[in-house]
Amino acid sequence: MATVDKDINEVSKKITKVKRIVKKRVEELEYKDLEETSVTEDVYWKDLEFSHPEKTVRLGTLFSGIGAIEHAFQRLGLKHNIVFAGDIEPNCKKSYFANYDIKEEDWFDDIRDFDARKYKGQVDLIVGGAPCQAFSMVGHRLGFEDARGTLFFEFARVVKETKPKVFLFENVRGLLNHDKGRTWHVMHDIFEELGYDVKFRVLNSRDYGIPQHRERVYCLGFKKKTNFLYPAPIELEYKMYDFLEDYIDSKYFLKEKGVKFVTSHKNREKSYTQINGDIQLCQKRNQQFNWHGDFVYHPQALDEIPDEKFDEFIFDVREVEEKYYLSEKVAKYVLAGGTKNFKTSTETDLDVARPLLQSMHKMHRAGVDNYVTHKGRIRKLTPRECLRLMGFKDSFKIVVSDTAMYQQAGNSIVVDVLIALLKQMDITKYGV
């Protein structure tokens, strides 16, 4: 907590100057109605094809964390080059370097010391979510009075110095109504003054394929005028249960080749198989060898390395370690309904997860965090499950402690929302 307080109350000439500028700008604001950009009513974003898959997108990230946009490019199989990235948290650097290709000289630790002018004209897309605690509903809500809130200006500075074709700024939805909307008004004006066509909208990850309630502002800036509309929500096909690691070993579970065949769209169209059918297909003596006939879906993680040719979530399987199960004493705490003055939900095993928090390693009450039951016991989510609920496939290497991984997952951007945005804007148009 001491570190957080230090961040909030940090004083420097630069921060004092920024606060003075913000105060002056707020006083001079000319009111205008800032309406969220609409969603498209045209083509379903999942069906969109990239126009220039042969092009390489040059990517720069700020407050990079564990690289959500980088993982989105990996999942989409798009050509990309990481021009620069950085994060002040040392453990983020460990995770980042274990999962992405970047040169040491292109990594920075503190954005306040990062001179981006040498990258001018060398970046197509810049992505970053400045620390959100300053504007979060569960934070101090100090905005620009919080030293972390002033880091927005560092994001704007890097955009000014590098002049990317597109930028994406992500933050909590509370940003829009902070200080009666004046905080966002200042930010929006600054982006426009930098010469960008600004679009913004609050998106919930549960509307883009991930069973987690997580609302965030996604602000896009385009160097050239555009008629961009945000991707339309899709029906949620999965529950949180589908992302869990619990596993029952059985010779009757399909292995990777069988799973791919049975769940593929091509197979469904030809009706070779059915899953959880009401009426059984014609029984075949060789169905166990050629995967034709009837199958039952068991709601557990399946033994398969992710393959983005199929849009189903297929994960590695593993037993859940004992350390993730709660002791009787801790279980009683997290399931307590609260006190006379503070009431909280005791619901576990949700279909759609509560927002993942960077502090979930501390194990809050059930109404704040996510807990699941298995074989009559209650447990917290594992770091791998938290990554899955942020859209990271099991190919993502975990190289830090559980505590660090919980924090990194909770601070990240949901990968699947980024994928929807990249497809909707056809990011390859901006490549080289």
pLDDT number for residue 75: 95
Write the pLDDT tens digit of every residue in 109-162: 998 889 999 999 999 999 998 765 544 444 444 444 444 446 888 898 899 999
CA-based nearest residue to 411, from 94, 167, 132? 132
Question: What domains can be seen in the chain, in order of their start residue?
Answer: 2-236+414-430 (3.40.50.150), 254-295 (no CATH)
Is 282 marked active-site?
no
Q: How far apart (Å, rounded) are the C-alpha atoms in residues 49 and 31?
A: 40
Write the pLDDT tens digit of every residue in 7-61: 434 455 665 655 566 566 666 666 677 899 999 998 889 999 999 999 999 999 9
Within 10 angstroms of residue 292's Cβ, the number of other Cβ atoms is 19
Within 10 angstroms of residue 242's Cβ, the number of other Cβ atoms is 19
Q: How far apart (Å, rounded) are the C-alpha atoms in residues 138 and 360?
A: 13
Write the pLDDT tens digit of every residue in 381-413: 889 999 999 999 999 999 999 999 999 999 999
By CB neighbour count within 10 A (0-12 exposed, 13-18 middle, 19+ buried), where does 431 fall?
buried
Write the pLDDT tens digit of every residue in 110-119: 988 899 999 9
Q: Would the pTM of this model clear 0.85, i.e. be above it?
A: no
Write the pLDDT tens digit of every residue in 326-365: 888 888 888 887 666 667 788 999 999 999 988 888 888 8
Among the options 92, 132, 219, 386, which is catalytic? Answer: 132
CA-based nearest residue to 184, from 32, 410, 64? 32
> Count of H helices and E strands in the chain?
13, 11
Q: Are 378 and 326 in contact (CB under 8 A)?
A: yes
Q: How far apart (Å, rounded) are the C-alpha atoms in residues 293 and 276?
A: 11
CA-based nearest residue to 125, from 176, 91, 181, 167? 167
Q: How far apart (Å, rounded) are the C-alpha atoms in residues 364 and 330?
A: 10
Q: How far apart (Å, rounded) are the C-alpha atoms in residues 267 and 256?
A: 15
182-193 helix and 13-28 helix, angle to the nearest 10 degrees: 100
Q: What pairing do the DSSP bridges indicate for beta strands 377-380 and 166-172?
A: unpaired
CA angle 306, 309, 313 (to 5 degrees): 40
